[in-house]
Amino acid sequence: MSLFVDAVGFGIASGAVIALGAVGFTVQFGISNVLNITYGALMTLAAYLGLVLVGWHLSVWLALVVVAVVIGGISVAFNRALVSPLVQRGASPFGLIVVTVAAGIVLQYVVTAIAGPQAQTYGEQGNSSIGVLGMTFSVAQVTIIAITVVVMLALHLLLTRTQLGRAMRATASNRTLARSCGIATDRVSDLAWLLSGMLCGAAGVALAITVVSFDFTLGATFLIPMIAAAVLGGVGQPYGAMLGGLVVGLVTQITGALWDPSYQDVVALGVLIVMLLVRPRGLFGAAWSARRLLA
């Protein structure tokens, strides 16, 4: 029983990181309709940039914020320089996926060439622990969970309580109609890529802290459970990605504890396949999205 409770605790902490990344991924996809596989490589870059800042004696949490802003800017530049011109020239969705995969591979090995293939670490981020309902969390895990909750709340308020959020939802629902109603869809798209990049950067640093030791494969490995979380909730649905991240985190960690840790990615892919077979639109599908837009 103790092993199961500990696994639930790790699952919640892991789910918080997955939710950060999955929400960023799904917000960008919902606005641009581009499956950006480069996202994983950007997470790897974020982890290494955070390591550099920590090496300059910057607080790891301040480094997380700085890296989030930097990766957000890189994400917007990537869209403006590569993705958007291809979309304007009529590139097919499959062609865009191939481009983002290629860009991600190039970026991953540029990072490897500069930083080296050896494992890196941020070191221990506090030795104390906190007990909650029989579960034990490190201070770093509690901080990451708190950051995730605050970010998710801020995103909820942005989408539901601001004019900008309504413009984002309208653009995601029907870009052409939104443009004809006077919404600056290009600016909304830039904002989506910025927000996506910032969440990607924050998730990259948070993941590097959580796994303790990491290398150049960090983002590519994390991409599997993150996409599974996005599909579980419904690709393009931020609220679904939040729930999907928690579910995937819990399922993979409990499986790792009770079965074999090496099968965690297999379980994540299994969740992805089952959801596509049973409910292809995810838990929060198109009908739910339409109700939210009308509300």
Task: Quick: pLDDT tens for 91-126.
Answer: 898 999 999 999 999 999 999 999 988 989 887 765
Strand-pairing partners, residue 120, are: 214
Per-residue confidence band for 284, with pLDDT thresholds at 50, 70 and 90: low
Residue 295 inside a domain? The answer is no
Q: Residues 39-55: pLDDT tens digits?
A: 999 999 999 999 999 98
Q: Say whether 135 sits in a helix, a strand or coil.
A: strand
Q: Specify the pLDDT at position 222.
A: 86
Beta pairing class for 129-132 and 135-138: antiparallel
**CATH assignment of the domain containing 242:** 1.10.3470
Structural domain harbouring 175? 2-289
Report if residue 80 sits inside a domain: yes
Residue 27 domain flag: yes
For residues 15 and 2, give the distance between their C-alpha atoms in angstroms, rounded to a whole number: 20
The two three-digit tokens of residue 124, written as one number: 């221990």
Average pLDDT over residues 122-141: 72
- Report if residue 249 sits inside a domain: yes
> Among 36, 70, 69, 239, which residue's Cα sits nearest to residue 155?
239
- Identify the top-confidence range among 134-148, 184-198, 257-271, 276-290: 184-198
- Given a contact cutoff of 8 angstroms between Cβ atoms, the answer to whether 268 and 224 are in contact is yes
pLDDT digits (tens, 9 = 90+) for 163-219: 888 888 888 778 888 888 888 888 889 999 999 999 999 999 999 988 878 999 898
pLDDT by residue (tens digit) across 213-248? 899 989 888 888 888 888 887 766 777 888 888 888
Residue 12 lies in a domain: yes
In the block, tokens 């929060």 appear at: 284
What domain count does the chain have?
1
Task: Mark out the alpha helices in the chain (DSSP H runs).
Answer: 2-32, 39-55, 60-78, 84-88, 93-115, 139-161, 163-173, 175-180, 185-211, 218-233, 238-258, 264-278, 286-294
The answer to whether residue 294 is domain-embedded is no
